[in-house]
Chain A
Amino acid sequence: GAGVSQSPRYKVAKRGQDVALRCDPISGHVSLFWYQQALGQGPEFLTYFQNEAQLDKSGLPSDRFFAERPEGSVSTLKIQRTQQEDSAVYLCASSSGLAGVRPETQYFGPGTRLLVL
């Protein structure tokens, strides 16, 4: 596709349920990022992949959050035993990953809105 896609767009989960959120980055993009956006706030970084390697997971809020990108393309963010405070929009972004001196443009998907009841 032409852009980053995410699925599902909306997810309602009961507290304690596990969820999996999918991201399809732009084809050929090396770098992939996950962000969490609470209502009225800017996106907050969760984790970063370069191809299949997870190079930074410093933003993951707890060990209930797990992300993978096994073949270096599609990525899945999994949240185990969801809590109400996990309710947010989860955004995925990708970039080409080409080395350079300036920050790369990140291309964002539409996000998955997660509501935990």
Chain B
Amino acid sequence: LAKTTQPISMDSYEGQEVNITCSHNNIATNDYITWYQQFPSQGPRFIIQGYKTKVTNEVASLFIPADRKSSTLSLPRVSLSDTAVYYCLVGDRGGADGLTFGKGTHLIIQP
């Protein structure tokens, strides 16, 4: 399994764009990059998934450079409610596999 490295914590302010970068130097050809979000006292929640280039949904964007050795989760115009832990996961078709979480990035949004 490809190992991921992401900052332990970040902070920002309401209304700002937040970018969280994840390094995964050993990503394999069949691996996808998936981000989950976890609020206190809740289970993780899927945010976005991509393989290459850019993916955008109603919540976030995911930027993946051509070499796929890193990826950046972009949260536009954050609010206080975006304060959470964000996990970057790398793996292939995982229907039968448990997810491998690291420690994640604790994002704190201030007013």
User: Footprint of B on A, CB under 8 Å?
Assistant: 4, 31, 33, 35, 40-48, 50, 55-56, 59, 91-93, 95, 97-111
Contact = CB atoms under 8 A, between A and B. Distances in A.
A42 B104 contact: yes
Contact of B51 (A93, A102, A108): A102
A46 B99 CA distance: 10
Contact of B43 (A48, A93, A97, A104): A93
B28 to A, nearest CB: 13
Given A42-B101, A43-B101, A45-B100, A100 B43 contact: no
A42 B94 contact: no
B34 to A, nearest CB: 6
Contacts of B46: 105-107
Interface of B: 30, 32, 34, 41-46, 49, 51, 85, 87, 89, 91-104
9 contacts: A31-B96, A35-B99, A45-B100, A56-B96, A101-B93, A102-B49, A103-B99, A104-B94, A109-B43
Contacts of A35: 98-99
A91 B43 contact: yes
A39 to B, nearest CB: 11
A42 B51 CA distance: 23
Nearest to A101: B93
A74 B2 CA distance: 32
A48 B99 contact: no
B98 A48 contact: yes
Nearest to A103: B94
